[in-house]
Amino acid sequence: AQTVTQSQPEMSVQEAETVTLSCTYDTSESNYYLFWYKQPPSRQMILVIRQEAYKQQNATENRFSVNFQKAAKSFSLKISDSQLGDTAMYFCAFMKRQGGGTSYGKLTFGQGTILTVHP
């Protein structure tokens, strides 16, 4: 079984500054995906960024980037130039990659980090 740990229940940052959210995971799988989702007060879970475990290059998506350390089983999210709209609960999530070129299945979520961006 997989476990995902987010050790920061709450964080805050000033608008335009940079913040890093931490995530560690534990698995015996070698092929998997890692995701960061955000859930603003509107409730919808929105994909922020994904990382395939076999890729050494860290994923980036505009102001969002990850630091993926496979050996350390660490997957942190960096948000640059924070904006008020980034205020949300952020979840780190793990998904095992299925065989045969397909993938579906259980997303294992961390407990979440509530991020507040202050003006």
Partner 1 sequence: DTEVTQTPKHLVMGMTNKKSLKCEQHMGHRAMYWYKQKAKKPPELMFVYSYEKLSINESVPSRFSPECPNSSLLNLHLHALQPEDSALYLCASSSLMASDPEAFFGQGTRLTVV
Residues that bind partner 1 (CB under 8 A): 33, 35, 37, 42-47, 50, 89, 91, 95, 97-98, 101-107, 109-112, 114
Minimum separation from the CB atom of position 112 to partner 1 (A): 6
Q: What is the dihedral of CA 101, 107, 53, 96, to 10 degrees?
A: -50
Q: What is the dihedral of CA 58, 117, 108, 70, to 10 degrees?
A: 20
User: Is the four-CA dihedral 21, 30, 69, 67 of positive or negative sign?
Assistant: negative
In terms of CB distance, is 6 or 82 closer to partner 1? 6
Separation between Cα atoms, residue 119 and residue 100, nearest integer Å: 48
Stated length of the chain: 119
Minimum separation from the CB atom of position 102 to partner 1 (A): 5
In terms of CB distance, is 64 or 109 closer to partner 1? 109
Minimum separation from the CB atom of position 4 to partner 1 (A): 9
In terms of CB distance, is 85 or 104 closer to partner 1? 104
